[in-house]
Structure 1
C-alpha cells in the first residue's frame, strides 16, 4: 500500500473511531459504522480488528466500561443500575457479569478499591497516532494560585492521585470544581519517562494558600506569561495527538523559544460528568 492510500485508509478509520467516541450512548450497528467508514459491511469486522487489534463490538463495550469505571469511582452517588443502563445493559446483573468478565472484579469491588494499573491493561489498542491539524493561539496567561496534588509514579496510577484530590476538594471546600478551574501539569512525557520517575500534578484554582491537610495537597503557582494554546476535543487518552504536532511541527516553524515551566492542561470540563467525546481540554505551552 503506497503512502497516499495508507493515509486515506487511516483517515477512514479515524472517522469511524471519532464517530464511536461521540455516540457511545447510541445504538452502534456494524451497518452504520461501516457506512461511516465507507467500508463493505461484510468485511468491516475483519478490517476493524486487524487495524485496532480488537473486534468492533468489544471495542465499543470497553469504551462504555471506561466511562462506567470513572462513574463508579468518581461519582459515588451514582447507582450501579443507572451506570449499567447508561452503558447499554438492560439490568445491573448483566452489567456486573460483563464487568467482572472484563476486569476480574465486580463493579462494587472496583468502586471500593480500584486497581487502575491493572485496568489500563485492557485499553492497549493498536491504534496509530491520529493526525490532527492543530490550531495554535498565542495567549497571555495570568499568574494563578493553585492547590497541588503531586503524583509520582506510573501514569496508569494518576487516577489514584485524582481520587485523593477530589477527597481534599470535598473535605475542604476550598477549590470547588464547578466554580474554579482544574489543571494538570505534565512535568514528564509518559512515553519517554521511566514509570517510577513520572511526575504529574493534579491542580485546582484557589483564592488563598492551602492549609495542612491529610491528603497532602499543597500550594503552588502557575506563572503568568505568553503561551501557545491548543484546544483538544475528545478523550484525554488521545491528548498526545495534539501535543506532538505542537512540539514537532508548530514549534520549530514558529521561531518561538520555550519558557522554563512544564506544559500544562486546563480541563474545561471533566469526567465523569461529561462523556469522553464531549471533553474539552486547553493545552498550554509556556513561551518566552
Structure 2
C-alpha cells in the first residue's frame, strides 16, 4: 500500500468520533467507502468493523481493570452496547472471560495475545502526532510513594490496578499528585524474573504502607533531557530508544546514575490512546 494511503487511513481513524461508521471513516480519509474497507483490511489484516469493535473492547477492558468504581452497565453503554448482557456476551467471545470475571482476575496473557496480533494504526503516523524535540530541564527533587513491580512485565497491569486502588483509597488523585514510573530494566533484554519497574505518586508526606507494599523514595533533583511522547504505550520504546540512542550519542552530555523515568500527563481510558501524553526524562550530569 502506498504510504500516503496508510497515513490517510491512520488519520481517519485517529480523528474520527468515538464510534464512527464506514461513511465517516471513508470521508475523513478522502477515499471512496467502496475502497476504504479493502485498503483498511490490507493495512491492518482485519475488517474495519472488527478493528473498531476491538478498540472499544480494549477501552472497556481498561475501565473494568483500572476503574473499578465504574459499573459494568455504564461501561457497556460507553462501549456502544444496549445492555450489560449483550456486552458481556461480546466481551467473553473476545477474551474468554465475562466482564465480572475479568474485573476480578484479568487474564492479561490472552488480552496481550489478542491485541498484539492486530496492527495498530496509531503507529503508522507517529511522527505526525509526536515531536522529537528534546529539552534540557532542571528536575526538582520529588518525594514519591512507590509500589515496586518485580517480575514478569506481562503482569505489570495487575500491579497498576493495585496501585490505583491504593491511591484512590488514600485520596491521591493524578490531578493533584503527579504520576511517575521509574524504569530500571529493558524488558527486551531482561529475564522476566529480574524485571523491575516502580509505580510512583508524588506526595509531600510519608505514606509508607507495608501492608499494601507501599514504600517511600525520592526522584533526585538534577538536569534531565526531556522528550514528550503523545500516543499509545507500546510506542514509548521507540521514543526512549531515540532519546538514549540518536539524541544522546550526538550530544556532549554525560549520563547521571539514575534510571530513565516517565511522568504520566494524561491516561487511557480517560483520553483516547492516540492522545495519551507521557514525558520521558533521561537524567544527565
Question: What TM-score bracket applies, with the shorter chain setting the length?
Answer: 0.7 to 0.9
Instruction: Report deviation, 1:22.
Output: 4.8
| Structure 1 counterpart of 2:257 | 260
Structure 2 unaligned spans of 5+: none
CA distance in 2, matches of 1:33, 1:79: 30
| Structure 2 counterpart of 1:150 | 148
| Structure 1 counterpart of 2:71 | 79
CA distance in 2, matches of 1:232, 1:266: 10
Identify the range of structure 1 (250-259 vs 31-40) with the bigger mean alpha-carbon deviation: 31-40
Cα gap change, 1:92 to 1:145, in 2 (>3 Å): same
Instruction: Report deviation, 1:151.
Output: 1.0
| Structure 2 counterpart of 1:246 | 243
Equivalent residue for 2:164, pick from 163, 166, 175: 166
Matched, 1:196 2:193: yes
Cα gap change, 1:91 to 1:159, in 2 (>3 Å): same
Matched, 1:26 2:19: yes
Instruction: Report deviation, 1:111.
Output: 1.2
CA distance in 1, matches of 2:48, 2:11: 13
8 Å contact kept, 1:84–1:92: yes
Normalising by structure 2, we get a TM-score of 0.87
| Structure 2 counterpart of 1:273 | 270
8 Å contact kept, 2:143–2:202: yes
Structure 1 unaligned spans of 5+: 1-5
CA distance in 2, matches of 1:134, 1:155: 27
Cα gap change, 1:116 to 1:16, in 2 (>3 Å): same
8 Å contact kept, 1:264–1:285: yes
1:254 is paired with a residue whose SS is: coil
| Structure 1 counterpart of 2:100 | 108
Normalising by structure 1, we get a TM-score of 0.86
8 Å contact kept, 1:74–1:272: no
Equivalent residue for 1:182, pick from 168, 172, 179: 179
Equivalent residue for 1:45, pick from 26, 37, 42: 37
8 Å contact kept, 1:65–1:99: yes
8 Å contact kept, 1:229–1:283: yes
| Structure 2 counterpart of 1:220 | 217
CA distance in 1, matches of 2:103, 2:241: 34
Cα gap change, 1:121 to 1:18, in 2 (>3 Å): farther
Identify the range of structure 1 (238-247 vs 77-86) with the bigger mean alpha-carbon deviation: 238-247
1:268 is paired with a residue whose SS is: strand
8 Å contact kept, 1:20–1:28: no
8 Å contact kept, 1:25–1:86: no
CA distance in 2, matches of 1:19, 1:153: 39
Q: Deviations for 1:148-183, whole angstroms, at most 9, x for unmatched residues?
A: 11112232211111112122223344x443311001
RMSD: 2.4
2:281 is paired with a residue whose SS is: strand
CA distance in 2, matches of 1:189, 1:24: 35
